[in-house]
Structures are given as C-alpha cells and as structure tokens.
Amino acid sequence: MRYYTYFPGCSASEGGAKAYNWSAKAVSRVLDVDLAELEDWNCCGSTPSGSVDELGAYCMATRNLALAEKRGLEMVTPCSACYVIFNRTNTYLNGYPPFKAKVNEALAAGNLAYRGTVKVRHLLDILTTDIGYDAIKSRVKKPLAGLKVAPYYGCQVVRPRFGFDDPEYPQSLDKLVLSLGAEPTNFPLKARCCGGSLVLSEEDVALDLIHRLLQSASSNGAECLITVCPLCQTNLDIYQSRVNKKFKTSYRLPVLFFTQLMGIAFGLEEDAIGLRNCIVPIEEVLAKYV
C-alpha cells in the first residue's frame, strides 16, 4: 500500500467532475494506493484568483500546503489547475525567502506556518510513475483491444515544467492507454489548450480551440478521448454540441477521465466510475469492445 494526502479540488469533489473523484478513488483502491483526503481544505484559487489578488491567492494555496505538511506525505491531486497552482506556489515560496516570510505572516493570523516541504504531484504521475504500467496491466480484466483512444493532456499537467513528462510531446497517457490494451491514436494537438475558463467569458474563442482538438482527434480515427483535467473534460464534452452547431460538424466523441477508462478495463461497476455523467454517451462505443 502506498499512502498520499489527497486534494480533490472543487470540480472533482462537489462540482461537475464528481465522476473524476469517484473513478480516481476506485482505481486507486484496486492499485493499493491510499488517498486520504486533506481535511478542511479550501479552493486553491486556480488561475482567476491570482489574476485578481496575487498575494491573497498565494495565501489561499499555502493554507492547504501548510495543512498537508502536518501529515508529512506527498500530496496528490487529479486536477491540472490545482497541480500548477501548488507547484508554482512552492517554487516561489522556496525561491524567494522574503516572499515566504510575507505569506507566513498572513498564515500566522490563522495559527499556521508553512516550511515549504510538501511535494505536490498529479494523479497521472502517481499512477504511471509510482505504480507503473506493468502493475496497471496486471489488473486489467477487460482488455480494450481495438478501442482507439485519443490521449488528451491539455496544458497544465505538463506545463510549465513541474513535471514528469515532456511539456510539448508527452507520452505517459499514451503508454497508459497501451497498458489497458487499447490503442492510443496519433493526436498532434494532444497538449494544446481547450480554452480553459475563457469558455465562460469568451465562448467563441474557446469553441474555436475545442473545435481544433475534436478535429485533430477525429481525423486520426479516435473513438473517444481521455483527459486528466476537470475543465478540459467539461469543455470537450459539454461544449461539443455547441461546436457542432457553430462549425456545422457532427462530432460525437465521448470524453472520459483517464481514471474512468482504467475503471472500465479493471471491470469496475459503471456507477462506481460515474460513466453516466458523460454528456456524450460512451456506451455505444464500449459495446463494440467490452
């Protein structure tokens, strides 16, 4: 058994990406990974808070890191935005001592202090690096032979360079698809942006980017996409019908969290991995292979 502190993030815990949380926990159990949720955590602030009030946003993120430091374990999050925020915070706190002193001055008002020792990792990193492809392969009960999966990384799991994979041509998710018995498609735009939160304020800008991704995946024969980020999944899945309307296309590509695809291959119950939460249904595609 491997032990981590778990930071689900807002979208996966109570928001639109609950299926990510469920499936992350379900496959972790199968792989003997213990994810103990950080108690009383708060929103990491994501990108928007840092753009409104930088210091406040760093303090929000650091409160979580200070709480996690008490447990002394590595912290793992399934959300790419949380992942970047925490790593950026660690980098700046440890690289700029006067800045760390200032953040700790604010934290002291809540009787907290942060030394800067919590390593924060993405769930994809934990499952592919610590657990490994062979261990994942050994748990597969329903090999997805023939299923063509476009592995979509998006941005913040690989950029900037906090990580475990190449910032422009990552491979970890491709190899994971292989270990599940499925076939990763060529996907030139696999690490390009989905539009992020600008889908709310500048919908046309985001729809254009989502369109390019769907086109890239579809033209390479993908039958579904997998993602590692709640926002990427939301944009590609929920806004797919709007892309179709705007660009007169007829994409019908299911978009799963990578942990849901793992759950399918591990033979887990549909409800345990939240397959019904997908807007574009996956059942039709799966019927051919499982």
Q: Which residues are at the interface with other proteins (CB under 8 A)?
A: 10-11, 13-18, 40, 42-43, 45-60, 63, 84, 88, 91-92, 95-96, 99, 102-103, 105-112, 155-156, 159-161, 167-168, 192-193, 195-198, 200-202, 205, 209, 238-239, 276-279
Task: Determine contact, residues 246/207, Cβ cutoff 8 Å.
Answer: yes
Pick 165 or 182: Cβ nearer other proteins: 165
Q: Which two tokens stand for residue 101?
A: 């002193």
Nearer to other proteins, 95 or 146 (CB): 95
Which residue number, 156 or 227, has a Cβ lying nearer to other proteins?
A: 156
Match 């970047």 to its residue by tokens. Answer: 84
CA distances from 203 to 165, 219, 253 (A): 30, 24, 20
- Classify the phi-psi angles of 21: left when phi > 0, otherwise alpha if psi is within -120 to 50, otherwise beta: alpha
Decide whether 65 or 182 has the Cβ nearer to other proteins. 65
Q: Provide the minimum distance between the beta carbon of 30 and other proteins in the complex, in angstroms, as a whole number.
A: 23
CA distances, 170 to each of 140, 155, 189, 257 (Å): 23, 11, 11, 17
CB of 129 to other proteins, least distance (A): 20
8 Å CB contact between 5 and 71: yes
